[in-house]
Amino acid sequence: MDAATKPEASGLHSALRHKFMAIVGNENVHAATAADAVAGVQPKLVIEPGAERELAEILRLSNEAGLAVIPRGNGTKLGWGNPPTRADLILSTTRLNEIIEHAWADLTVTVEAGCTIQRLQETLAQHGQRLALDPLWPEKATIGGVLSANDSGALRLRFGALRDLIIGATIALADGTLASSGGKVVKNVAGYDLPKLVTGALGTLGVITRAVFRLHPLPRNTRSFSVAAASAEEAKRFVVAVQDSKLAHTSLQCHFSDDTSPVSDILFEGTEAGLAAQENQLRDLAEHAAVSEASRSTWTAREELWDFSDRPCTAIAKISILPASMARTMKLVENIANRQQVRWRALVYATGLGWLRLEGKPEALRGALHELRSELEAQHGSLVALHRPEKMPAFDAWGSAGDALPLMKAVKQQMDPKSTLNPGRFVGGI
Amino acid sequence: MGHTFDELRAIVGDRGLISSAEELHTYECDGLTNFRVMPRAVVLPNTTEQVQAVVRICHRERMPFVARGSGTGLSGGALPVENGIVISLARMNRILEVDFPNARVVVEPGVINLDVTGRVSPQDYFYAPDPSSQSICSIGGNVAENSGGAHCLKYGFTTTHVLGLEVVLPDGSLVHFGGKTLDAPGYDLAGVFVGSEGTLGVATKIILRIVKRPECVRTLLAAFPSTNEAGAAVSDIIAEGMLPAAIEMMDNLAIQAAEAAVHANYPNCGGLLLVELDGPVAEVDALMTEVKKICSSNGAPEIRVAQSDAERALVWKGRKAAFAAMGRISPNYIVQDGVIPRTALPQVMSEIERLSQAGGLRVANVFHAGDGNLHPLVLYDRRIAGQEEAAEALSSQILELCIAAGGSITGEHGVGEDKKKMMAKMFAEPDLATMQRVRYAFDPLQLSNPTKVFPTPRLCGEKPGEYVPHSAESAGIAERY
């Protein structure tokens, strides 16, 4: 027995630890290290089940023993959400990584939660298909993690969010129930749409063990353009005009910051003939603005916001606004940032979702996030803090869940009555 | 009940309460007419507050209620329940807000689907979900059923286009799910509510997404010797990486019926394919050329592209009238709604044909071929003893074929009253029990459209609420219906 799995190292009752080992094998139960900490909270064990049934059984035992369980894929977004109120074990899905069925002729795929986005995309590409989603860090991010965090990028404008792409899911509930809902066909209204319920639930209702997605063909050709704007107002006018035009663009995003003029990027996909015609229409629509061909890499700009040069002084938030309020919101950010003396950079999609990076003193970051959240919530929007530096004064990750919070708590109570899964990490203390 | 009636009348007014037997008949069924239950009363509220007040009384009296839109549903979802009332949302039919820069529309549940498009079409927008009943069905009903339509292949279902909801929960409280902006913090309760068939509460306001009209729309008709060749052409279109706005298929019997009903000028063939592409002109033209080639190489001798909006409208009129058109060729018929993985089409079609011959009943087939949604229409004559039962049996067998092929018992019509016993064939007990937990969170007293969607025990001593297997059931000596 290595030191890592000694009872004293795990801090868990040895009989229980032995039960875990009997289920998943000794080699798949490890003592947690400092690197496994979840937003500063140290768990005791890391368990890596190799089958759905194993995962469900570990959950059942943990639930019975009153342990707090943190589901984890590759941990790229483990800091999202509030710190857990308790954390006993990390339940890793990384060994549940099989691509079960790529029914390419039916444009669907069934995949286990621990598979990375990139490996899935590579498999789908062999038949000219893709999951039409561009989440952060595809080489590491897992299906289960991306679903739980509801991460989407620029492709969402055309193809929808995960909620529009997922057609089936199997989840393990805290009591060990393995439940499937949805199915393997795109069109299906039998029973409740639980795949949508668990998407974005941050693992608080159950652990997603597998998902079924509808797929899209890979584009035949793509063209990307950047359009300069003199002001946020001009950038917004461009975005609203494109959205109101007959262009069939796939993605549309705007970069804003405290020291550069706004730039908008637009992506087209299609036949050569179609792309040429759309480029002409775009140039007509842009009028006097400078239009230049952009590289494909502009569509991973979101990841650049996460390049931490000064991690203790950087905060990152996801904002959601009405698309036509884009300019007003950027003006708001600018004013608040000036007042709080923080630097800022933002990437806003035409869907109204955006990503904001702030740099400054931890107290000022909190002040800016707090002010901005109040303003956005007053305009039907939201601000979710994804990265908060350790020294930043306490700031709820989510903000208001509105008048449906009691119902959300009731749903949680039904699915996970002992609050075994990710306790305290979600909205309103769920 | 008299006192409760007085209270209801005080809320909705004399003209908002229906309690006389002759008037109640209108509400005893929805579009699926073989199930009929008389409600105790029908209330027609005008406002959210009235809905809330009515539901609060139901909650206090433990009286079940069923929300109803236009009553066009085909699964008995709006069928009244015993000793319950019907809440008709027909009078809550205002379009409250239209926001073009953000492409959002806020409506009340009684607004007719097509009226949303009507309202926004001057600015060249449309509301994408287009069930065949779109000229009479309501948005509230669409929300309950997660309605689809021919164009959901490209544009998605009702759930894709509902951004937010105001809902009266079964205890009378008012809550908001989602909103005008995306990804509101918290669980995606709008995602769960849409398609829950009225079992989780009553939607009183709906925030919809509208879509800019594409630059052009082209509709192609191709005549194939049989549905097999037509199906092969669909596979090739998908394999070429195209995502048409719609792909519809009809077999010969369905074509004959549509011709008899609306003279759509369809070619008389074994398998008719309707392919619609939309988008920028240059893109659509390039792809339409490919679609034509694919149809030719799969053996379509006749290929037509509608040359005008009028021709296009006629093509769609035939398709959308296909269900009703069966009345021209058969005294009675059952509309089925099942889904299969599209690749299973040839095998499932030949099985349907076999069942049809074995049962001595004709089956006409209309499909949303792009997404594998089948609408087999089982034709029969009620006047002939035993035919109705045989038709119902055949219709159920088709659903079992769908389940066996890895598909679903319903693609867009819902489970409702009609298919709840099939749920246990499609889902395992833990799956259904988990859905029941969600239901219990919303409606612990089981007042909102109870007895629908889920198989209910025919065992005494069962209490509503979270599903617990009855001991007799666990022992395998009773089953759920």
Please answer whether residues B410 and B197 qualify as being in contact, where contact means their C-beta atoms are separated by less than 8 angstroms.
no
pLDDT score recorded for residue B2: 77
Preferred mutation among A148, A184, A189, A271 to probe B, highest tally of B CBs within 10 A: A189
> Does residue A311 carry a pLDDT above 70?
yes
| CATH number where A316 lies | 3.30.70.600
State the pLDDT confidence band at A16, using cuts at 50, 70 and 90: very high
B130/B196 same-domain check? yes
Contact across the interface for A179 and B430, Cβ inside 8 Å: yes
For residue B406, list chain A residues with Cβ-Cβ distance below 8 A.
183-185
Query: Per the domain annotation, does B460 fall within a domain?
Result: yes
> Does residue A19 carry a pLDDT above 90?
yes
Query: Per the domain annotation, does A150 fall within a domain?
Result: yes
pLDDT score recorded for residue B108: 98
| CATH number where A185 lies | 3.30.465.10
The whole-angstrom separation of Cα A173 and Cα A69 is: 11
| CATH number where B397 lies | 3.30.70.2740
Query: Per the domain annotation, does A139 fall within a domain?
Result: yes
Preferred mutation among B408, B412, B413 to probe A, highest tally of A CBs within 10 A: B408
The candidate with the shortest Cα–Cα distance to A319, out of A387, A380, A381, is A381
pLDDT score recorded for residue A153: 97
State the pLDDT confidence band at A8, using cuts at 50, 70 and 90: very low
Nearest to B339 among A188, A415, A426 (CB): A188
Contact across the interface for B184 and A177, Cβ inside 8 Å: no
> What is the average pLDDT score of chain A?
95
* B418, B439, B454 - which closes a domain: B418
Closest chain A CA to residue B170:
A407
A194/A242 same-domain check? no
The whole-angstrom separation of Cα A333 and Cα A339 is: 10
A244/A263 same-domain check? yes
The whole-angstrom separation of Cα A397 and Cα A178 is: 30
Contact across the interface for B187 and A380, Cβ inside 8 Å: no
Give the model confidence (pLDDT) of B279-309 as tens digits.
999 999 999 999 999 999 999 999 999 989 9
Query: Per the domain annotation, does A425 fall within a domain?
Result: no
Task: Residue A291: give the domain boundaries.
Answer: 221-300
Query: Per the domain annotation, does B134 fall within a domain?
Result: yes
A333/A285 same-domain check? no
Q: Which residues of chain B have pLDDT under 50?
A: 458-481
B180/B235 same-domain check? no
Preferred mutation among B163, B188, B339 to probe A, highest tally of A CBs within 10 A: B188
Q: Is B145 on the interface with A (CB under 8 A)?
A: yes
Query: Per the domain annotation, does B424 fall within a domain?
Result: no
Residue ranges of E strands in A34-177: 45-47, 69-72, 89-92, 99-103, 108-112, 129-130, 166-172
Closest chain A CA to residue B236:
A105
| CATH number where A64 lies | 3.30.43.10
B113/B185 same-domain check? yes
For residue A410, list chain B residues with Cβ-Cβ distance below 8 A.
441-442
Instruction: Note which residues in 387-406 of chain B have CB less than 8 A from chain A.
Output: 406
A88/A14 same-domain check? yes
- Full-model pTM: 0.95
B261/B360 same-domain check? no
* A300, A320, A337 - which closes a domain: A300
Contact across the interface for B195 and A353, Cβ inside 8 Å: no
Please answer whether residues B206 and B165 qualify as being in contact, where contact means their C-beta atoms are separated by less than 8 angstroms.
yes
A103/A203 same-domain check? yes
Contact across the interface for A190 and B435, Cβ inside 8 Å: no
Task: Residue B349: give the domain boundaries.
Answer: 331-418
Preferred mutation among A151, A155, A158, A192 to probe B, highest tally of B CBs within 10 A: A192
- The helix/strand count (H/E) of chain A reads as 14, 19
pLDDT score recorded for residue B1: 63
State the pLDDT confidence band at A11, using cuts at 50, 70 and 90: low
Give the model confidence (pLDDT) of A234-253 as tens digits.
999 999 999 999 999 999 99
For residue B214, list chain A residues with Cβ-Cβ distance below 8 A.
246, 248
A271/A355 same-domain check? no
B383/B411 same-domain check? yes
Q: Which residues pair with A383 in a beta bridge?
A: A319
A289/A316 same-domain check? no
Give the model confidence (pLDDT) of A387-425 as tens digits.
999 899 999 999 999 999 999 999 999 999 999 999 999
Sign of CA dihedral B23, B28, B31, B32: negative
Report residue B228: phi and psi, to 5°. Answer: -65, -50
| CATH number where B76 lies | 3.30.43.10
Model ipTM?
Answer: 0.96
pLDDT score recorded for residue B457: 56
For chain A, the domain total comes to 4
B366/B344 same-domain check? yes
Nearest to B185 among A185, A278, A398 (CB): A398
The whole-angstrom separation of Cα B180 and Cα A328 is: 17
pLDDT score recorded for residue B467: 39
Give the model confidence (pLDDT) of B71-109 as tens digits.
999 999 999 999 999 999 999 999 999 999 999 999 999
| CATH number where A238 lies | 3.30.70.260
Query: Per the domain annotation, does B353 fall within a domain?
Result: yes
Nearest to B180 among A178, A186, A380 (CB): A380
Give the model confidence (pLDDT) of B120-141 as tens digits.
999 999 999 999 899 999 999 9
Closest chain B CA to residue A376:
B181
Query: Per the domain annotation, does A143 fall within a domain?
Result: yes
pLDDT score recorded for residue B458: 42
The whole-angstrom separation of Cα B42 and Cα B450 is: 17
For chain B, the domain total comes to 5
B159/B170 same-domain check? yes
